[in-house]
Every structure is written in C-alpha cells, then in structure tokens.
Structure 1
C-alpha cells in the first residue's frame, strides 16, 4: 500500500462523499483534479462506505480512495467484505477499507468497542477480506497494536506529531501510518485559531479524542474556551505556505508515511474547496 499511496492525500468529510445525484459530476471532476494535482489518496470522512468511494474510483485511474472511517456499527462485516472485494477487482486494488469504532454519542450500539472491533476483523477474515486491504483508525495503544497485527496499518484522526511518533514506535517500521492533519490556509493568528476552534469544538465533546489528548500530555485546561493555543497549534497546520509545509514535514519526520490533509476554511461540510486543494498541491510540490 505504501508504494501506491504517496506522501500526501486529501481528507474530506462531506463534499466528496455526498450522495446528492445532482452533484455527482462535480464530485467526479473534483476527484479527477485531485489525482492530476498529485495527491496519492482521497479519504472520505464521516461514516463513509464503499458506496461513497465507488463513483470516485470510477472517475480516476490512479488515486487510492479510502473510507475514514466506515463505522463497524453501521455496516455488517460480511457485506463490507463483498464490497471491498468487488471494488478492488474493478479498480486495480485502489480501494482501502478504513475502519473505526466511531463514538458512543454517535452510535446507539456502542458497547465494548475494542472487543467489537476484534470480532469485526474476525468476521472480515472469515469472509475472505484480506488484512492488507484495510486500515484502522487507531488512537490508543491496544488499537494501534491491532492495526499492526490485523490490518495494513493505522489512519489516526486528530493527533499531534508527538503522537505520530509514539504510534510509529508501536506499529514498527512496516505498517502504514497515515495521520489526518487539519490545514488552515490563513496567516493571521487570530483568524486562523478562530477557524480552528470552530472546527475543533465538536471533537472536544467526544471522549475518545479528549482521553487520547490526556494520555499524550494535555490537560483539562487545554479543552477550555474552544481549545488552548497549545492544543490548536498541535493539531492544526496554519500560517504561511512555508509554515504549513514545515508542519506537514514534522509529521513525516515523526514517522508518518502519508499525511491526509483536511482543509478547514469555515465552509460547510459539503463544500469542495478546490482552490485550497490547488494551493496545497503547489506548496507541497
């Protein structure tokens, strides 16, 4: 997987995975442009699925498309295995099944998430879905080790460069490590941090993320008033092109094989920030 995914990808939480048929052509055009811009992967955020990935795979010829994540509570493992096999057969192995346990506030069935994830992987194995075609959204040590032993690697969301380094230590050298990183293309500190806090607010209400921050050196004080400057600056890249490039490089230096870049610009989740994607491609070139 490392050989085809490249160093940089785009993470998009709504616009590219939306199901509005009237915008299918626009989504296909945007995916094709991302491929032309040189991004190695498109990661579909939220509770995405193979069905969301299929149109983007049809519109492209090289870029990898992955779910980030497909919730284990929303899709039966056997059906997920069939979709995984069919998409990869049709599109030269370019579909990656990114799996996660979501959050207690978002999934009514949420119980014993680690055990549920292990059982889900067992069912995928039983249905013939190869471990090398899936990755896990792994934050805690046990899940990172599961990503090492039962998948092709980890696609952690909302982590720092320091946490990336610790994930690499647990994963070892071979598995894929592809953290998501939020990017604010804004040089004014007040404006950049305001946009960042607006985006961060929902995550500070989800214990999976706040517990992970606490495990990694942050305190409850860092969650007040929309997030401390220390927290915002650790999980967002903002500023000049040179500064943003340096932050991305920091994650690579910490052990990331690939960084999934999410543009944060204050727009709606269904926007396609194509001009921002072009600027990102230019500053990463």
Structure 2
C-alpha cells in the first residue's frame, strides 16, 4: 500500500512529528558510534523533542538501517529521513524497507526522499537525467509488485523540494514536501503550491550561540557558501531579495534564512515558518559540527521550543 496520500495518513504524521524536531548532526568525514547515537536520541527524547531526522548520501551508512536501530532505542520519538537518497537503493527496496519500519513502529516513521546530485548517480553507475523525471519514475517504481510483497502498511512519504517544479511534483505524487535552508517566504509559497492538505516539513539551519554577533557571522558564512549555487541565488531573487542583498549577503538575507542567536531568537524563527504554513520545522546543525557539541546545542534549545506554535 505504501503512501496513500489520504488526509488520515497526513494528519497522523502531523500529530506524530509535532511542530518542531531536530536533525542529527552530520559529518561527512568521521564515522559515528551507534552507541553514541542511541545515547543522543534518548537524551533528545527526554528533553522533550517529538521527532528526529537523519540524512543519507551514498555509502558509509544506510539511513533506514540507522533508524531501525534508533527507533528500537526510544519509546515515543518519531523519526524521518531528510533525506533517503534515491541512488542508495532500488525503489522497490526503498518501499519495502520503509514499510517494515512503519509496521514495526506504527506512527513513528516518515520517509523523506531526495533526488540527490549528479555525482551520486554517477557513483552507482546511473544517469542522473532530469530531476523531475527521475523522481517521478522512482516513486512510480516503488509500487511495482515484488516477491515477497512488502507489508501492507501506510508510510507517509515526502519529497525534498527547493524549487516550484519539484514542489508541484511532491504535491502530485507524495504526501508532502521537505524544503530546506529557505526563508519563510519560501515556506509560504510552498504551502500555496501544496495546498492545505499536504504535509510541509521545513529544514531550518540553526546557529545556537548566546553571542548574537558571533552567531550572525557564522550564519553569514553558511549563506555565502549556499550562494555559490546559481540556482539558490536565483530562487532567492524570485522571492524578492535584491541583487544587493545577494551580492553583499546582507543582514536581511542572513537573518531570513538562518536561525541564529539565543534560544528565544531561534524559537522566534521557528514560529515564522509555522505561521507561514509549515506543519513541522526540523532544526539543522552546521555540517561538520562535532556530534556531541551539536546534541548539546539542541538540548540547550529545547526549553524555548517546548510548546512552540504559531501564536507563541
């Protein structure tokens, strides 16, 4: 059965995720002890988060195996992939693995899919092709018959989408979308494209630091790195940010994209995205942040985020 696209499945995912969750800190150079991850998700559950997300590239770790371990190590946390990379496994295998997780841990798993990058396709001997056509074909093939068949359970399914065309595709063939590192104006547009009945999860990059000037300087470096991608800069221009904002990486631009500063400042940015139409905001630590330091930071933010909503 897999993703049904029904309101029931999406409403259940909204309840399970709650308004705010966290993404486990990411390193692309250092393998991470699964025992340390178990301890981390137990701590995140105890400080009050409802949901934890994890990434996937090609090799090194399998996000679905990782979450099988972490789901078993916790009692209530919902988990999601942000994202499960489509080049990491065949579509029928993706569907089957996700269905087993959903069956084993009812209501606690959301499958986020992403088309990744051309080099990732090349790494597994595949042609990247058109991102839209590739994603559509992959999702269609997830439903292909297999022997044995996958468990007949509903799996909430969302697609990474940072542009209007992928957002529209996500609204058509999945239960929702997962844009990341975008300002609240993009969240509002995403909600408009998806309509009210789809799940909208937003990845919000955070720089937790009680020194706001230092936090903004780090945030500016992160935005500058992203602007090296012409498509990212073009998307911000479409949202109304000026050539000067983009060229100078203005305070206005940095403050819109990255939540930085003390817990109250970060909670305020979460509320902006929720008010703009997000169902759930997943906090993203800087890539390369030491895992334990990143978890400490997320725990520091937890009290300010408890009970956060659009009116708080």
Preserved CA contact (<8 Å) 1:73 1:110: no
Preserved CA contact (<8 Å) 2:25 2:290: yes
Preserved CA contact (<8 Å) 1:132 1:151: no
Selected match of 1:232 from 224, 229, 254: 254
Match of 2:52 in 1: 42
Selected match of 1:276 from 265, 289, 297: 297
Distance 1:163 1:64 in 2: 25
Match of 1:250 in 2: 272
Selected match of 1:176 from 193, 199, 202: 199
Match of 1:120 in 2: 138
Distance 1:142 1:222 in 2: 25
Partner SS, residue 133 of structure 2: helix
| RMSD over aligned Cα atoms | 2.5
Match runs of 1:22-33 below 5 Å? 23-33=33-43
The answer for unaligned runs of 5 or more in structure 2 is 1-12, 307-312
**Which one has more relative contact order, counting CA pairs under 8 Å at least 6 apart?**
2
Partner SS, residue 143 of structure 1: helix
The answer for unaligned runs of 5 or more in structure 1 is none
Partner SS, residue 178 of structure 1: strand
Match runs of 1:144-155 below 5 Å? 144-155=167-178
Distance 1:19 1:93, change over 3 A: farther
Report how many aligned residue pairs link the two structures: 279
Distance 1:34 1:133, change over 3 A: same
Partner SS, residue 73 of structure 1: helix
Distance 1:158 1:73 in 2: 22
Preserved CA contact (<8 Å) 1:135 1:151: yes
TM-score with structure 2 length normalisation? 0.80
